[in-house]
Each structure stands twice: as structure tokens, then as C-alpha cells.
Structure 1
Amino acid sequence: MTTVAQLAFWISALLLLHAFAGYPACMVWIARRRPRPVRKQPVTPTVTVVIAIYDGAAHIRDKLASLRALDYPADRIEIVIACDGCRDTSAELCRWLDDPGVRVLEFDERRGKAACLNDAIAVAEGEILLMTDVRQRLDVHALRELVANFADPEVGAVSGELRFEDPQTGFARGVDTYWRYETLIRHAESRSGSTIGVSGALYAMRRALFLPLPLGTVLDDVLIPMRVAKAGKRVIFEPLAVAWDRLSLHPAEERRRKIRTLAGNFQLMQLAPWLLAPWRNPLWFRFVSHKALRLLAPWLLALFMLAIIVLASRHAFYAFALCALFGGALLVALTRMLRMGERWLPVRAAVAFFYLNLFAAQALVAFARNRRLHLW
């Protein structure tokens, strides 16, 4: 029993350490020792902006104003907006603005983002596709910075950086802290080759590389870049191309969005099982380390905790580990109840880690119970 518990302890501990610390450190080391710079040049290919929206009337005016303010030749941009069974006035507002560069595709039935992207890109004429969501505001230089990367023929897709405005609560600051950590990893992945995902709020790709998405796909911002990498092109992170969003101030506001995204990872592996095959996925190590192990983390933590409980009475090291584990859990509980330590980085990181793993565990249950994730 002791041997089995020790084996469970060390396997779970090493996998968790690799997923959250070892892999990021590995990417940073490779990026510094063997960087692969991108040959950026100021180019202006034609661009089709693609936006799929569902009940986006509250944001569409500001979004179109943000797009028209971009530092890029207006005659090189077309905008295609796909309204996915909207129950509000999204389509009417787009037409009322009477912008000749905007094309509206209106669908009576709600089918999900993937179906809208497929239809919108089918009528796109630009050499480059700019994918963005309706809610986020784009920096004026965002498109120009993204497109400059396509001067390098090795680049197939480019992700912008999502930043958050004015995080206020401890929870929001924790999410912001986690997102900065995630951005660090993506930057290192990009500098050392390719990143495995892009920000759904802002990314661009060569139109020639787009393949129709399976209907119901939730994570187009992972499947599309992974397909680009499979085609032999690089997926780059561009920190100078920025989209701005606001954080959820409370866990309840973030929970539904995060669970849907995490459940989308389970769906992704069901739709594209080649992602888990090292002989078919050129970014297999990165995908497994960055995505798959994160999904396993809650269950690895449970295994880790059970092993510690069994071993705590047998050796002081495991007793200390058990105390540290419960100490961390107590810190998170006190932070939630008393809102203490909002400005202390370790506390914010612990809170973000707790919620990430809680949502990951709930995501597996949600995916098993509801396969129609795209209509959440």
C-alpha cells in the first residue's frame, strides 16, 4: 500500500509540476537559447474582418467604430458580420449604420459560432482573415501589427494579445494574474516556434489555410491554429496587437464562460483525435503539456491528496506536504470569505489556481452531460 501511495504521490506531483512550472520554464529556456525570429515587414494585403455574433446589439456600434479607427487602409478592409439567430436588433443596427464596407449575413436559426464562421469565410475576399469578437475594443495599431508578420512566408496565423481593463476585486485580480502567466507561456511558445492557441478576441490567418470547421466546434481559436501548424506553417503571438476587455468581477460571472471553454477542450479532442497522436501533431508535446495536462490537473490533485493522507503518518516529509496542502486550501477559503490579500501576488495566484482546477473538474461533467456546448 505504501509503495502504491508513493508512486501515486510522485507521478501526480511531477505531472502537476511539469504542467504549471516545468513546461513554461522549458519554453522560456528554448525561446532564449534557440529563438526563431519573425521577418516582419510593413505590408498591406486585403483583409476580411469576420465577426460572429449572438445578441450583440449592445456592442456592435462600438465594435464597428473600433474597426473603422484601425490604422490600416480602409479600402483594403471588408467586414463580414454573421448574426447567429439573434433575437435583438444586431442585424438592423449594422444595416442602419449604412457602411458600404460591411456585409451582414443573417440566420434565423441559432447554429453556433463555427457554422457562422464557415459561412462568413465562404464569402470573404481578403487574403487575410481577421477574427474578432464583438465585445472587445481593438488598439488602433492592432491590425497593422498582426499583418506585418505575414511578410514572413513561414507564418500562417498570428494571435493578438488580450488585456484586461481595471481589475478590481481579488477574484478579478487573480484571473488577471493567471492571464499574464498564460501570456508569458504563449510568448515563449511563439518565440521558440509556434503557440498552440490564439486569442479568440483577436487573431489573423491566411485565408488559403482555412478549412471548414466541424459544426458545433467551440474552440476555433485552438483547432484553427493547430491545423495551421499541421500544414507546416508557424502560429505566432504578437504582443503589439492588443484587444481590450473587462474582467468578470465575481466567480459566478466567470464560471459559465470558463467551464464552456474548458469543456470545449474535451470536445476538441473528440473532434480531432489526431491532436493526441505524436506522429500526426507537430506540436504534440506542447499541446499535451499546455492543454491536456491542465484538464487532468484536478484529478491529479485529488490523487496527490489521497496519497499524502496515506503517507502522512509514515514520514515527516509527507506530513509537511499535507500541512502545506491544507494551508493553501485554508488561504483560499479565507480569501473568499474575508477578501483578504487581494494585493498579494501569491494569494491571487492561489485563488486563480483554485478556480482554474474547480472549473476544469466541472467542465468534464458538463461535457459528459451536454454535448451541445456551442449553444450555451
Structure 2
Amino acid sequence: MIIVAPFVATLAGHFTLTRIGMSVPVLNDVRVLFFSAVLMAFVLEVHHAGVNPLHSGPARRTLQPVLLLFGYQILSAVWAPRNAVINDVVGDLVAMVVLVVVYTALAEWDRDRVIVVTMYCQYVAAWLYFLYSASGHGATAAGRWTAFGGGPNVYVRVMVLGMVAAAYFYFRSGGRFAWLAAAPLFLVGAIASGSRGGLVAFGGIFLIAVRSLGRFMKRHGAIKPLAAIPMVGAVVWLLFGDQIMFLINNRFLAGTIQQRNTSDRDVLYEKGLGLFVESPIFGVGVHGFYAITNLGPGEKYVHNLPLAVAAEGGAVGLIILLVALWALRHEYARVPKKQRSLPSRAASYSGIFILIASFFSGDYYDHRLMWIFFLLAAAHPESFGSTSEVVDAPPPPGQYSIHR
């Protein structure tokens, strides 16, 4: 439960009670309730375990640069424009501090179990989102699939992370196709979202993982899953073929290729780069992009994480961002490639997917899972002295380690 609670709080995003027709002062932002519950459960767990969290070297080396980035972004509110509405952004950053601290502390105790439970949560969430949208709820006026009040770019991330979870359990079970059977449905949901950036990011992690997939198929045989793909594909096509073709023709072919519709990303990037050139050292401060450009309520942020950090935090913020990503990559690389566990690889692929997607959509808070997954991937269970199996231990009977 201590792992499920942070995941639910993470998945909730910016969900407010106004989306369901309710308005409760202070508690309207459900994160107040979620994060209060997470912190209470975390404190009780620490007291019960009798340990000092965040005391290990890997935790300090990976978490400190991330916290430094969030701290600098919060500090940049000092020099933000007077008309900047900084409360929401600072609230998002404080929420991310809570999440990364809790997840890193949990990883110290049992990293692999945290990832396994998180993968279960991802898998269940993907089913809930898919069933909700496939039943006819949540679609936008343009026919793009959404769920539970979130946008299409959020929806595609849930779908792709669901595919990563399905692949993870497929590998973990030694090739039980029942786990992988859900992947085509989640792929339909990803396409139906109409999110071009999300699909590009999915293609990126697929190219990165294709060699590992090939080794697994060679070792365990690819006939059964490959033979089942046409059958599953036929069922999916009968159910959702018309919707898929409608979106492909209108969103991807007509909109992107013929009309060259970029959803104003070119305008946002140009404005963001212009702000960076005007304030290259410290940037314009959090929420400064929207306060200065005033492009309308639908364009509050740059939709590109590095450029957003550069525009609002300047070269200082961009350097801290790069240092944080380098520290996570360096800690992950400390474990030899052949000794990396399946959970750490699954977390790494999930983080890379959101990192690539962050170049096309999302504000700071939309990238919270990226930081969480990278921190989990970089954790070293044997260095923490936790009870989880070390990364070079053989898998239990019937399980498969992706690096072998």
C-alpha cells in the first residue's frame, strides 16, 4: 500500500474536483488529500522500520541534483514577472519534491519490489483508461481518445507505459502470451490519442529495446506470439478499425503532412528561444513564459522541457537539468550492462519514453514520472543493503532476465 499510494497520487496529476462538478476550498486540488496520505504513510513506515531514509551514497548522488533543479526553479519565482501566477507552478514543484523523495527512500529499502508494484499499477491503470475511452467516454471533439479528464498527451503516456508493463511481465513470466495480449489494445489507445509526440517517443524506446526483444524471441521462440498477432490484430481491427483510420487520415496524414499542422509548437519554441536569448543567465522565472508571451490559456508553457528550463531558468537552470540527467545516467551505468536487472531496465525504458515525449508536450509536473523512473532505474539494491535480490542474482524459476 505504501507503494500504491504514491502511484495514485502521481497518476492523479492536476485532477481537481471541479472536473466532476464539485468545488471545495483548499481540498479542491485532490493532491492535498493524496499527498497528505502519502506523507503520513511514509512517516509511519519509517518509524516502524526504524531506519534513516536517504542515507546511502546512490540516493544522495542521484537525488541531490534533482532536488537542486526543483529548488532552483522554485527560487526563480523571486525574479518572475509581477503578473506571473506562480502559486500553481511552485505547488507542482513542491509536489514533485515529495514524490521523488518518497520513491527514492522506498527504493533504498527494496528497489525491485517498488518497480514490480509500480508496473502492476501501470498495467491496471492502462486497462482502466483504455476501457473508459473504448466505451465511448472521454473523446475530444476531434475524436482523440482521453480518459478521466486528462488530455490526449496524458492518455498516450498511460497507454505506452501500459505496454512497457505488459512487456515487463511477459519477460518476467518467461514468455506467457497472456501478458502480451493486452499490448495491441494499448497500442490502439496510443494511436487513438492522436498524440504525435507520444508515438514518436514510443518508437524511440522500441528501437532502443528491439535488440533485447530479439534475444528473448531467439531464446524462447517467437512462433507463438508472432502467430497470435494476426488473430489479435483482426479482432482489434473489427472493433476499432474505423476509428483508427479516421484518426490516421485526419490527424496524421491530412493534419500533419498536408496541412503541416504543428499545434503551434513552432510558435511556442520560437517564443521560448527568444526569452532565453533575452535573459540567458537566469531566465525569466517560473511561469514567466506565459506571463510575458500571453499566447492564450491553451499555451501556458513551451511544451519542451529543456527549452522551458532554459527560458525560465536560463543557462543556470539548463546546466542543472543536464547535470541531474547525467548523474542519473552515470549511476545507472555503474552496474555493468550484463548485470542490470529486468526491473531496472523496465524503469529505464519508461523514463526514456517520457524524456523523449517531454520534447513535444507537457509542463514541469507532467514529467514527474520521468524523474521517478530514472531514480528507480539508477538505484543499486546491493549498495543500499536492502532485502531485494541483487542485480546479478539469477531470476527465480520460470522467470527471464532480459540481459541474458
Question: Do the structures match in fold with TM over 0.5?
Answer: no
The structure where helix makes up a greater share of residues is 2
Higher relative contact order at CA 8 Å, sep ≥6: structure 1 or structure 2?
2
Structure-2-length-normalised TM-score: 0.29
Structure-1-length-normalised TM-score: 0.31
